[in-house]
A and B are shown apart, each in its own frame.
Chain A
């Protein structure tokens, strides 16, 4: 939904001459694309960071940032001059090797001052001051301050950012990303010509092993102009209605006997290697604690893709049961579907039990010991919050429009699904929060949780009564939606007086604020005043668990490297691997579970290996030719498409094709053969081609050490003709 909204808004804006649009992408995908009004800027895969840092270089050189805004050291100061965000641009950081708090923000106690917070150099007095007590502060202070125990070398966050940016010249950045210095300057000039009415957005560029500094730098660009939460600037998603948390009618988040999850995540995320027993033991034995067996992703979040790498290495601990649902990591994770990795996934000594909840024999499910049939989108419940580009309050609701085709099981005789499986297993093993007396309503009365409707109907009741109460369903709507004949256990899951408002939410597909409520004067209506950090103390004080070196606190250009810091371009030189793969999301197969959609099979049956016409000429390759794409770790075949709209040295291969399971081949269940549909497997998949990282001890897919981001784009490759 959200991307169509973006397409509609950009087309409208460009057609009305209200929007200038530059699309920076290794692949010219031709969405909003109008001659004379939009521009495609071809960039080399995995070099987006160089472009953004190059733009920042120009912005700093020409002082085109909004200095009045950046000089505001706190929220009140920024609000008093009309902004709804502030930054830590002026906050001082200790840059003193001899100081125990080196790389950390300077604190009042370091100077013997009273109070809490950060220190800035007050513009009025030229002296250190609490950030909350100054209305404007110096942006680029770099020098000494008088501390409790002598002088301390300090610099502002913005000074450190600028210093990082200036490590390379604009010409060097231009050479790295393949966009001329002149064009980088033009984009930067355009970007800084509209005050705070500028914004950035991204997707693909964040999927490389050097994407963290790019992603951070990109979000910092509009912060230099004060764009956050401003009309015409950067907006956060609109809020959602209350659903599963404690709502006005039911509390679906807490229950008696609840145990909160704790411990270290198997994905090695949000945890410092230095806090592990492995590290402490090595230190105690007098050994160099670095490298760790696999990288620790201190700043990664929700790294489901790293889970299987951990499992096959039994690191940081043994995985006992892997339950997979709503996911297909063996197709979706770069570098995983490779012989050496799959061998390890099959070993029961690595993963003793795999249970997969799925609607088809998916790539991951095919390795499961037990397969639990799930319900399809037409048979299930879901509450979907706001996605990007919608800035009003909304939550959409999906409800089963047909009786699930899965067999009925368990104590409540319900169709098997992910929810039924969880409820029945929980009841069997006696977990709290399931069965009778599980859910508390607003009056303290307890309700059972035996069916999925016991849960979802209550979540919708919370939505219906969040703020203004939704009106009851009209008789006509009740009839045409079929909600007049819902099963009794749906009705019994909420109070009788709530049922008709609940049904109205279901009938409308959710609850949606009017699309016109975007602004509050010059501010975005939603979006709390936010603080944007140009320097991250957290990042600067964490170490790369392989090299033992400190991470950078601000974005600086990072070439693609193995975990141990070796340049990918040195190990796999461009003479041997002249291309970088750019994995894109195609319009007609954007996610991994559309291969069984007959409409999309007809509209686009396969993907191609897209190559620039000049590169094709250089390598003697022809449109429509069958080729093998070889990477240092794997190979795949596909059909070439020669195009003008591909950057030099790039192979564009869209995601979602080239599956090897997912109902593409015959499957025998209880002696009965279910015929496969070959069309589901057509095309080329890029994830199995992604590089393995041989610089670490374990079997591991090349990823960014700090964030855990995989080698989805930027995979080094060569092309070998088949015919």
Chain B
């Protein structure tokens, strides 16, 4: 079986330092028009019992890919290791894929007329390195690995913990998993 890259993020460990967002921007020369990796911060519960839920986000490298279907020129695709990527040579900047992604993970480079997005730092993976957001994470909240390998850290974390995905109602089969979100969300109940 081939590899299937995926990420597990433990939101309880995230301190919202945005080191991942910054490292990603520098690693991938992301333009000022958006971010490949970002962190949403949201207050849960009320004063004074309030907590802050921090959710690091990126492309979910979904199994079902409306973004790929939306592309008229086959400039974006999912490779055999599960990475949804953009071929910038082929991209014509129609931005159809941007609207098709419910996660807002695709960046409109209006000036360049190109689309940019997270590719799990494929250029680093080739050299046996982890994505920049994972290695830079201050509190080791992000884990990356092969979801098809039952012995990988990510597979073990998913086996041992309750987890969820973002926008499950979209039924896209995302490959970025979150541990701990409900511990915060339940406070609002």
Contacts and interface: CB of A to CB of B under 8 A. Distances in A.
Contacts of B32: 598, 601-602
A647 B48 CA distance: 8
Nearest to A37: B12
Contacts of A15: 12-13
B18 A587 contact: yes
B47 A8 contact: no
Interface string A436-455: 00000000000000000000
B15 A32 contact: yes
Nearest to A601: B32
A12 to B, nearest CB: 8
Interface string B118-156: 000000000000000000001111000000000000000
Interface string A229-258: 000000000000000000000000000000
A33 B15 CA distance: 7
Given A15-B13, A30-B51, A587-B16, A8 B22 contact: no
B85 interface: no
Contacts of A36: 183
Given A11-B15, A599-B26, A603-B21, A30 B139 contact: no
Contacts of B41: 30
B96 to A, nearest CB: 25
B25 interface: yes
B52 interface: yes
A4 B43 contact: no
Nearest to B50: A644
Contacts of B45: 644
Interface in A18-73: 28-36, 40-42
Contacts of B16: 30-31, 587
B135 to A, nearest CB: 13
A613 interface: yes
B43 A643 contact: yes
Contact of B54 (A30, A35, A614): A30
Contacts of A4: 17, 19, 138
A278 B94 CA distance: 77
B52 A42 contact: no
A7 B43 contact: no
Contacts of A41: 48
Interface string A601-644: 11110000000111000000000000000000000000000011
Contacts of A588: 18
Contacts of B57: none
A510 interface: no
Given A28-B50, A31-B15, A603-B21, A644 B43 contact: yes
Contacts of A28: 43, 50, 52
A8 B41 CA distance: 19
Contacts of B48: 40-42, 647
B26 A7 contact: no
A210 B38 CA distance: 39
B6 to A, nearest CB: 22
A389 B79 CA distance: 44
- Say whether chain A's binding surface is mostly helix, strand, loop, or mixed: mixed
B167 interface: no
Nearest to B32: A602
A486 interface: no
B46 interface: yes
B17 A7 contact: yes
A321 interface: no
Contacts of B22: 599-600, 603
B47 A612 contact: yes
Nearest to A4: B138
Interface residues of A, number: 35
A658 interface: no
A645 interface: yes
B21 A35 contact: no
B76 interface: no
A35 B46 contact: no
B184 interface: yes
A631 to B, nearest CB: 25
B189 to A, nearest CB: 12
Contacts of A600: 22
B18 A40 contact: no
Interface string A627-671: 000000000000000011111000000000000000000000000
A643 B184 CA distance: 17
Nearest to B46: A644
Nearest to B16: A30
A691 to B, nearest CB: 28
B73 interface: no
B92 interface: no
Interface in A584-604: 587-588, 598-604
A388 B15 CA distance: 19
A34 B183 contact: yes
B43 A11 contact: no
A602 B138 contact: no
A160 B18 CA distance: 47
A41 to B, nearest CB: 8
A16 to B, nearest CB: 11
A42 B46 CA distance: 12
Given A4-B19, A11-B15, A35 B187 contact: yes
Contacts of A31: 15-17
Contacts of A11: 13, 15, 139, 141
Contact of B183 (A35, A601, A604): A35
B35 interface: yes
Nearest to A588: B18
B129 to A, nearest CB: 15
Contact of A35 (B25, B26, B43, B184): B184
A4 B138 CA distance: 6
Contacts of B138: 4, 7-8
B139 A40 contact: no
Interface in A65-83: none
B35 A602 contact: yes
Interface in A506-541: none
Interface centre among B22, B26, B52, B187 (most CB of A within 10 A): B52
Interface centre among B19, B50, B187 (most CB of A within 10 A): B50
Contacts of B141: 11
Given A12-B139, A15-B12, A613-B46, 11 more contacts: A15-B13, A30-B41, A31-B17, A33-B51, A40-B51, A599-B26, A600-B22, A602-B32, A602-B35, A603-B18, A646-B47
4 pairs of A and B residues whose beta carbons are closest in the complex: A30-B52, A644-B50, A11-B139, A31-B15
Interface of B: 12-13, 15-19, 21-22, 25-26, 32, 35, 38, 41, 43, 45-48, 50-52, 54, 138-141, 183-184, 186-187
18 contacts: A4-B138, A11-B15, A11-B139, A15-B12, A30-B41, A31-B15, A31-B16, A33-B51, A34-B51, A35-B183, A41-B48, A598-B32, A599-B26, A601-B32, A613-B47, A643-B43, A645-B47, A647-B48
Interface of A: 4, 7-8, 11-12, 15, 28-36, 40-42, 587-588, 598-604, 612-614, 643-647
